[in-house]
Homo-oligomer: A and B are copies of this chain.
Amino acid sequence: MPRGNGFGPPWWHGRFRGCGYRVTVPRQAILDVLSRTSKHLSAEDVYITVHKIYPNVGLTTVYRTLELLVEMGLVFRFDFGDNRARYELAMGPKGIMHHHHLVCTNCGRVVDYTDFIDEEKELLSRTEEGLAKKYHFTISNHLIQFYGLCDKCEGKK
């Protein structure tokens, strides 16, 4: 089982134990898969990848673990309109760059972008504060996505 950078157990061990969750082989394997890709994996994608190394890890466990990780805030779940949830690690030890998505409504291609994030962040935090006060919400997260046609699909439609 991969052990991160080799300096002690992976950083998320504490997060698990602190919540009373056990650190298991499937959980480590799934987190490992997510941490080694920048793609937007579906549950099945994760299952297939994990399955290559640990053939006895079941799809059910993948679903359960992903749900757990989302609930813990370690993973984000996205919907790109293709009727299957996509998962992405929220942050690693060094933190993954905050980004949003640009989705082609024709072919489903998804582009991560980090442009304008700083300006967005400023406006979003201001909006968040205003909304929280007005609607009495404790806001913990936000989602921004742009939709359109990518260059390859532009002409075809």
Contacts and interface: CB of A to CB of B under 8 A. Distances in A.
Interface of A: 77, 79, 81, 102, 104-105, 111, 113, 115-116, 119-120, 123, 126-128, 130-132, 134-151, 154
A141 B146 contact: yes
A120 B119 CA distance: 11
A144 B147 contact: no
Given A115-B127, A130-B116, A131-B115, A138 B148 contact: yes
Contact of A102 (B81, B105, B137, B146): B137
Number of copies: 2
B102 A131 contact: yes
Given A79-B79, A143-B147, A147-B143, A127 B120 contact: yes
Contact of A142 (B79, B116, B144): B144
B140 A111 contact: no
Contacts of A148: 132, 137-141
Listed from nearest, the 3 A-B pairs whose CB atoms lie closest are A139-B148, A136-B151, A79-B79
Give the one of A113, A126, A137 with max B CB within 10 A: A137
25 contacts: A105-B141, A113-B131, A115-B130, A116-B123, A116-B130, A116-B131, A119-B126, A120-B127, A127-B146, A128-B146, A135-B150, A136-B154, A137-B146, A137-B148, A138-B148, A138-B154, A139-B148, A140-B147, A141-B146, A141-B147, A141-B148, A142-B144, A142-B145, A143-B147, A144-B144
